[in-house]
Amino acid sequence: MPSDQQRFQLSFLLSRRWIVFALFVVVLAGTCTRLGFWQLERLEHRLDNNQVVKRHLSADPVPLLTVLAPGHNVDETTEWTRVRATGSYDTANEVTVKFTTRDGAPGVDVVTPLLMPDGSAVLVNRGWLQTKNTTARPTNIPPPPSGEVTVMGWLRSDSGADEQAVRPVDGQVRAVSSKGMESVVPNELVGGYLNLRSQEPAAATSLDLEPKPELGQGPHFFYALQWWFFGLLAVIGYFWFARDEMKERGARPKPAA
């Protein structure tokens, strides 16, 4: 049974300050634990998505309109599907995506609508062009093949950026979205866009194509460990400070009743 001196040493734990401290530690540790498991959920989702991407990239290209129709959007089950489409490029409504870089070099992505025989259109990211470090639209964009062309590319989902980022201003955008391009392309747009991989006939001057997607695990597992470490640190900190308080009070005599 604890002595009066021991009860005195522990009595501080029932003070308002230490109760608030304990509640804070419980909430903090619980939040960190939940965030750690959330990172593991994100890791699991990423690994599942990687499997979907791998299946799509290893499959043969399919006609675009068998995967999507105008008015339909690209989702996680259809993104990265290899598709092909035939039509003619609409260079009058071509845009560039500014503030894109490759290996630290400034440049733009060139996005050109492809008008298809059924009257619909799809945005095609024809590739990346290195430019000067400026916000001005480049004037030396290599033209696409003229006339009918068959393209093959990866199906990508629209950017979730705000309207100001996806709506063309002076022929430029900051992110690609079929929704943002609806106001400038007269044809009904298929949702999403294509990352060009090949086209027939080929362009006289090629742009740098989009690299293959990164299919690694990402940092989620290590982020989970970090969150759990922070939670454990909070608990250890509570007992560490409590131990110091007990030692300090143990060095003082119990107040007289």
Assess contact for 224 and 37: CB atoms under 8 A. yes
Q: Helix or strand or coil: residue 115?
A: strand
Pick 13 or 42 by higher pLDDT. 42
- Residue 138 dihedral angles phi and psi, to the nearest 5°: -65, 150
Assess contact for 255 and 70: CB atoms under 8 A. no
- Residue 242 dihedral angles phi and psi, to the nearest 5°: -65, -40
Q: Is residue 224 over pLDDT 80?
A: yes
Retrieve residue 134's tokens: 């400026």
Give the position of tokens 């990164």.
214
Assess contact for 103 and 211: CB atoms under 8 A. no
Q: Give the dihedral sign, CA 94/97/102/106.
A: positive
Pick 113 or 58 by higher pLDDT. 113
Give the position of tokens 């498991």.
37
pLDDT band with cut points at 50, 70 and 90 for residue 71: low
- What is the arithmetic mean of pLDDT over 173-188? 92
- What is the arithmetic mean of pLDDT over 217-243? 90
- pLDDT at 209 (0 to 100): 92
What's the DSSP call for residue 142?
Answer: P
| 123-179: pLDDT as tens digits | 999 999 999 888 889 989 999 999 999 999 999 999 988 989 999 999 999 999 999
Rounded distance between C-alpha atoms, residue 113 and residue 184, angstroms: 10
pLDDT band with cut points at 50, 70 and 90 for residue 54: confident
Nearest to 81 by CA among 68, 94, 98, 95: 68
| 4-25: pLDDT as tens digits | 555 555 666 778 888 898 899 9
Half-sphere exposure of 108 (CA within 13 A, CB side): 24
Rounded distance between C-alpha atoms, residue 189 and residue 215, angstroms: 29
Rounded distance between C-alpha atoms, residue 72 and residue 192, angstroms: 9
- pLDDT at 254 (0 to 100): 55
Quick one: what percent of the chain has pLDDT higher than 70? 91
- Residue 62 dihedral angles phi and psi, to the nearest 5°: -120, 160
- pLDDT at 14 (0 to 100): 74
| 75-121: pLDDT as tens digits | 888 899 999 999 999 999 999 999 999 888 999 999 999 999 999 99
- What is the arithmetic mean of pLDDT over 225-252? 84
Which pairing describes strands 105-115 and 120-130: parallel, antiparallel, or unpaired?
antiparallel
Pick 122 or 254 by higher pLDDT. 122
pLDDT band with cut points at 50, 70 and 90 for residue 36: very high
- What is the arithmetic mean of pLDDT over 212-238? 90
Assess contact for 198 and 152: CB atoms under 8 A. yes
Angle at 169 (CA atoms; ends 168, 174), nearest 5 degrees: 60
Q: Helix or strand or coil: residue 61?
A: coil
Nearest to 40 by CA among 257, 221, 174, 162: 221
Q: Is 0.85 topped by the overall pTM?
A: no
Q: What is the DSSP track for 22-80?
A: HHHHHHHHHHHHHHHHHHHHHHHHHHHHHHHHHHHHHSPPEEHHHH--BT----TTTTT
pLDDT band with cut points at 50, 70 and 90 for residue 181: very high
